[in-house]
Chain A
Amino acid sequence: MHAIEFRDVDFSYGEGGFRISKLNLDVEEGEFVAILGHNGSGKSTFARLANGILVPDRGTIRIFGVPLSDKTLYEIRKQVGVVFQNPDNQTVASIVEDDVAFGAENIGTPREEIGRRIDFALGAVGMQAYRHATVQRLSGGQKQRVAVAGVLALKPRVMILDESTAMLDPRGRKEIMDVVLRLNREEKMTVVLITHFVEEAMQADRAFVMNRGELVMQGTPREIFSDGERLLTFNLALPRISVICQALNEGGMSVTDTLDFNILADEIAKELVCGS
């Protein structure tokens, strides 16, 4: 069964505004998918459509086979959790456990069950020690982990991260990525990661590229990043290592395009030694 299924989805932000047209896209259950695209390509709109924050003009969206409609909206929101970009905009309570409980309380979870879910969610993001801490005094990465825990407390089957690491420092980014990878591998959670960071996208099973509201490329991250010329036409920058490979080849060497610096070093070394 598809976890997320978009069929001919059209959406526009009013006359002349940005639009998504004829979007067809499937995310399988248990999959880890990355979505790439320049700012304004429609990535965030996709996230907002997938859990019913926005309603499509035409087309169907199904979550685990259930069509998204007014009647199913609340059920579907429990299944699709979204973590947004800014850690400071996603916390509502001043104490960590209250913040994590907020969503679960809202959907009427019984009290004892909420306690268990807080335990589970804080454990999953490695923040048990901060249960009674003040949210305001946490680092960006810690706040964002609390935001992830708040979504986990709803027991969703799909988690969408909309540039959730963009405002974090490298250490904070790694904290979030570790949590997400563990949820995907151990809890079999379906993950959709919207990101600009190549090294994050590389960890996904599949990647989609969006451009002007359309899905323009899909494949394994390796396939996508090896097609540098097409990426450029969608206003995406090449990974720095691909730029180096290209420049070396233009200068008369022949190294294979790779994303691993050790492999590139091997290739350069081989060529320099053979050349002499």
Chain B
Amino acid sequence: MRIVAEHLSYTYDASSPFAARALDDVSLTIEEGEFFGILGHTGSGKSTFVQHLNGLIRLPSSQKRYRPKKGQALPVLRVGEFDLADKKTDFKALRKRVGMVFQYPEYQLFAETVRDDVAFGLKNFAEKGKMPTEEARTEAVKSALEIVGLDYGEVADQSPFDLSGGQKRRVAIAGVIVTRPEVLILDEPAAGLDPLGKKEIMELLHRIHGDWCKTIVIVSHDMDEIAENCTRAAVFSEGKVVMCATPKEIFSDEARLSALGLDLPLVAKLCHALRARGISIDCDDKTEDFVRAVLSLKEGGA
């Protein structure tokens, strides 16, 4: 499912003294199959934007009482075949296909057992009279737990609250992907975990990406995470998309990023430092690529 947003704006508490413009004429396209990153400071509009993508925040034109004003550019938001600007859109069907993992999703675990927690989405999204059978549910829960790296036999009957932090988060992700959404959006999936937990979460996202969820969108503050994992990324600042390109292109513009108050990933810093020392190095901002590029320079020179 391709995501197309045009002229998206949003103001919180619009009619109050606390009115805050969170999105200001945002246009952004995310292609099917991408592992897309969204960067920016707190308050830059990242979360507001992603909440639009499965209809948690609705466009004015999709609301009942909406009357268009003359001469105003209408915002467009399409996710696959769903037109989110349309009142008649089936938002439940949309949400089944666009999964959303919030920040600290482990705080949303609630059931007595891991099995019930993961199965909740299956029941919740079942169409009238089409509740999946017990066996089908077990099968789905089992494969969701497996792909997030948990052993079904071991954890299914445990209370999710008895698991470690990293495990809880994986259960929460399993609970979202169990309905096989085509697009998976994660708001800071690795925040607050220890380094190993972070690594495991990113590995599991790569396992899911492709066959399980075609498109993955992550919101992150960690430049290294974006550089290592994403096909493209957008930088948000004060409600606008100020850059949208591959990580390599984004991180090559050091001056622009530092004006935005954003740091560079380590590999980009090293590349800039090497170029400043007269060494021309060309590589993606990934650890592996960097090492390969340096080693081949060494061989080439020797």
Tell me whether A252 and B277 are in contact (CB under 8 A).
no
Question: Which of B166, B197, B277, B291 sits near A265, CB closer than 8 Å?
Answer: B277
Q: Do residues A85 and B290 form an inter-chain contact, with CB atoms below 8 A?
A: no
Binary A-proximity of B268-302 (CB < 8 A = 1, otherwise 0): 01100110111100000001101100110110011
Query: Given the complex of chains A and B, what is the CA–CA distance between A272 and B298 in angstroms?
Result: 6
Residue A241 at the chain B interface, CB threshold 8 Å: yes
- The complex places the Cα of A214 from the Cα of B149 at a distance, in Å, of 28
Q: Is A71's CB within 8 Å of the partner chain B?
A: no
- Shortest C-beta distance, A31 to chain B (Å), equals 24
Residues of B within 8 A of A264 (CB): 270
CA distance A39 to B291 in the complex (A): 30
Count of chain B residues near A, Cβ 8 A: 41
Contact A167 B266, beta carbon cutoff 8 Å? no
A140 lies within 8 A of chain B by Cβ = yes
Interface contact B273-A139, CB-CB below 8 Å: no
B157 close to chain A: CB less than 8 A: no
- Residues on B with C-beta less than 8 A from A155 are none
Question: Chain B interface mostly helix, strand, loop or mixed?
Answer: helix
Stretch at the interface among B129-137, B187-195, B210-218, B238-246: B187-195
Q: Report the minimal beta-carbon distance from A177 to chain B, rounded to whole angstroms.
A: 14
Q: Decide if A73 is an interface residue (CB 8 Å cutoff).
A: no
Q: Is A235 an interface residue (CB 8 A)?
A: yes
Judge whether A265 and B270 touch: CB under 8 Å: yes
CA distance A174 to B107 in the complex (A): 26
Residues of A contacting B: mostly: helix
- A165-202: CB near B (< 8 Å → 1, else 0) gives 01101111000000000000000000000001000000
For residue B158, give the distance in angstroms from its CB to the closest CB of chain A: 14
Verify if A268 is at the interface (C-beta below 8 Å from B).
Answer: yes
Q: Which residue of the partner chain, among B18, B42, B194, B273, contacts A169 with CB atoms under 8 Å?
A: B42
Chain A residues with Cβ below 8 Å from B278 are 269
B298 touches A252 (CB 8 A): yes
Task: Flag if B295 contacts A236 (CB, 8 Å).
Answer: no
By beta carbon, the residue of chain A nearest B271 is A265
Query: Residue A110 at the B interface, CB < 8 A?
Result: no
CB of B178 to closest CB in A, whole Å? 25
> Which of A237, A248, A269 contacts B196 (CB under 8 A)?
A237
The residues in A between 242 and 258 inclusive whose CB is less than 8 angstroms from any CB of B are 243-244, 247-248, 251-253
Q: Could you tell me which residues of chain A, from 4 to 61, have a CB within 8 Å of some CB in chain B?
A: 38-40
Chain A residue at smallest Cβ distance from B291: A247
Q: Which of A265, A268, A276 touches B302 (beta carbons < 8 Å)? A: A276
Closest-by-CB residue of B relative to A137 is B18
Give residues of chain B (140-170) contacting chain A, Cβ–Cβ below 8 Å.
Answer: 164-166
Query: Are B274 and A236 in contact, CB atoms less than 8 angstroms apart?
Result: no
Residue contact A248 to B294, C-beta cutoff 8 Å: yes
Q: Which of B172-212 contact A (CB under 8 A)?
A: 191-199
Residue from the set A40, A171, A236, A253 with the largest chain B CB neighbour count within 10 Å: A171
**A75 near B: Cβ within 8 Å?**
no
In the complex where A272-B301, A276-B301 touch, is A265 in contact with B266 (Cβ < 8 A)? no
Q: Are B295 and A244 in contact (CB under 8 A)?
A: no
B263 is an interface residue with CB less than 8 A from chain A: yes
User: Which residue of chain B lies nearest to A265 when distances are taken between CB atoms in the complex?
Assistant: B273
Please, how many angstroms separate the alpha-carbon atoms of A268 and B276 in the complex? 12
Report A-chain residues with C-beta under 8 Å of the C-beta of B193.
39, 196
Residue pair B301, A275 in contact (C-beta under 8 Å): yes
Residue of B18, B194, B263, B287 with highest tally of chain A CB at under 10 A: B194
Q: Are B266 and A240 in contact (CB under 8 A)?
A: yes
Please name the residue on chain A nearest to B297 by beta carbon: A272
Q: Give chain A nearest CB distance to B7 CB in angstroms.
A: 27
A251 B287 Cβ-Cβ under 8 A: no
A262: nearest chain-B partner, CB-CB: B273
B221 contacts the other chain (CB 8 A): yes
Determine the chain A residues whose CB is within 8 A of the CB of B224 once the complex forms. Answer: 240
Contacts of A236 in B (CB 8 A): 194-196
**A39-B164, A40-B164 known; A85 and B192 CB under 8 Å?**
yes
Q: Is residue B33 within 8 Å, beta carbon to beta carbon, of the partner chain?
A: no
Instruction: Check A261–B270 contact: CB distance below 8 A.
Output: yes
Q: Let me know if B78 is at the binding interface, CB within 8 A.
A: no
A260 to chain B, nearest CB (A): 10
Contact B166 A169, beta carbon cutoff 8 Å? no
Contacts of A248 in B (CB 8 A): 291, 294-295
Which A residues are in CB contact (< 8 Å) with B277?
A: 265-266, 269
Task: List 14 A-B residue pairs with CB atoms under 8 Å apart, sorted by A's residue number.
Answer: A39-B166, A172-B42, A196-B194, A236-B195, A237-B198, A240-B266, A240-B287, A243-B287, A253-B294, A265-B277, A268-B274, A272-B294, A272-B301, A275-B301
Residues of B bordering A, CB below 8 Å? 18, 41-43, 104, 164-166, 191-199, 221, 224, 261, 263, 266-267, 269-270, 273-274, 276-279, 287-288, 290-291, 294-295, 297-298, 301-302
11 additional contacts, CB 8 Å, given A40-B164, A169-B41? A38-B196, A39-B193, A39-B197, A196-B193, A235-B194, A237-B194, A240-B266, A243-B287, A248-B295, A251-B291, A272-B294
Listed in ascending order, the chain A residues whose CB lies under 8 Å from chain B are: 38-40, 85, 137, 139-141, 163, 166-167, 169-172, 196, 235-237, 240-241, 243-244, 247-248, 251-253, 261-262, 264-266, 268-269, 271-272, 275-276
